[in-house]
Amino acid sequence: MQSQRRRFDSAHAIALLALFVALAGGAYAATQVRKNSVTSASVRNGSLKGVDVKDDSLTGKDVKESSLGQVANAQAAQSAQSAQSAQTAASAQSFDGVRKIDYRNNQTGTTDTILSFRGMELRATCSAASATITNLTLDLHTTPAATANASMLRALQPTGPDPNERSGEVSIVRGGALAAGGTLTVIPGSTSIDTLSDSSAPNFIQGEGQIVYRTDADVVTVVYHAFVDHTAASTGYCELFGNAIAQ
């Protein structure tokens, strides 16, 4: 009886061992999934995570664009772009290297400051010297000690059939060292023989000029166009426009 029980126990143990081996083999086989055999039905909804997907493996075709909101990175990029735009606008607004000159006066005889920039001022006067004479004067005033040089190429009023034609160019060159608070006459008045005015014969009415102004801190270049109307004093005018650029 004891012998039978021992044989039974041994057989039982062998059977159990075989069962365990079979189960282990099945479990091992279950981990070996055939390629392309996993389908949507094999996966529980909501169980996959970002770590289960290979980086940079999804493409645009895998995503329904209409279901997407604005993602954090896009918001950050947009914020950065907006900040950059604001910074650029602020920089442009605070930039102090260029000034525009836009002056027109109908013979009022008043002296107007048409440019105040980097320690210098340009002052223009448009006046009627007589019933048919219009004069334009332009002076440069400096606050610090400076050097200023001016040149202008002026032209006569039209003499031919083309009203836009200019001829008889004459150059005016002036300049030198200026003490603090000094003044340089860039375009003199009607009492000078090199004026820009229709008081001469023939009449000088148009000029293209350049001014270079230098201090210890700045170099400013002014490029301008000046014009004097040569009609009657009641309708004549002066104009001067251009740009000043600091370096």
The residue segments making up the domain with residue 172 are: 98-246
- How confident is the model over 86-99, as a mean pLDDT? 67
Domain membership of residue 139 (yes or no) is yes
Domain membership of residue 162 (yes or no) is yes
Q: Distance between CA atoms of 242 and 177, rounded to whole angstroms? A: 24
Which pLDDT score, from 0 to 100, does residue 122 have? 98
Is residue 156 classed as helix, strand or coil in its secondary structure?
strand
**187 near 208, Cβ under 8 Å?**
no
Residues 21-70 pLDDT 10s: 566 555 554 556 677 677 777 777 767 776 777 777 777 677 776 676 65
Domain membership of residue 132 (yes or no) is yes
Domain membership of residue 34 (yes or no) is no
Which pLDDT score, from 0 to 100, does residue 235 have? 76
CATH of the domain at 111: 2.60.40
Domain membership of residue 128 (yes or no) is yes
**Element spanning 168, H or E:** strand 167-178
Domain membership of residue 50 (yes or no) is no
Domain membership of residue 14 (yes or no) is no
Q: Distance between CA atoms of 108 and 129, rounded to whole angstroms? A: 11
| 154 confidence band (pLDDT: 50, 70, 90) | confident
163 or 26, higher pLDDT: 163
Which structure tokens are listed for 181? Answer: 């608070």
Lowest mean pLDDT among 22-36, 99-113, 118-132: 22-36
Q: Distance between CA atoms of 190 and 16, rounded to whole angstroms? A: 127
Is residue 12 classed as helix, strand or coil in its secondary structure?
helix
Domain membership of residue 45 (yes or no) is no
Q: Which of 212, 80, 218 is nearest to 152 (CA)?
A: 212
Nearest-5° Cα angle at 185, 181 to 190: 140
Q: How many domains does the chain have?
A: 1
146 or 33, higher pLDDT: 146
Residues 190-224 pLDDT 10s: 766 677 775 555 677 889 999 999 999 999 999 99
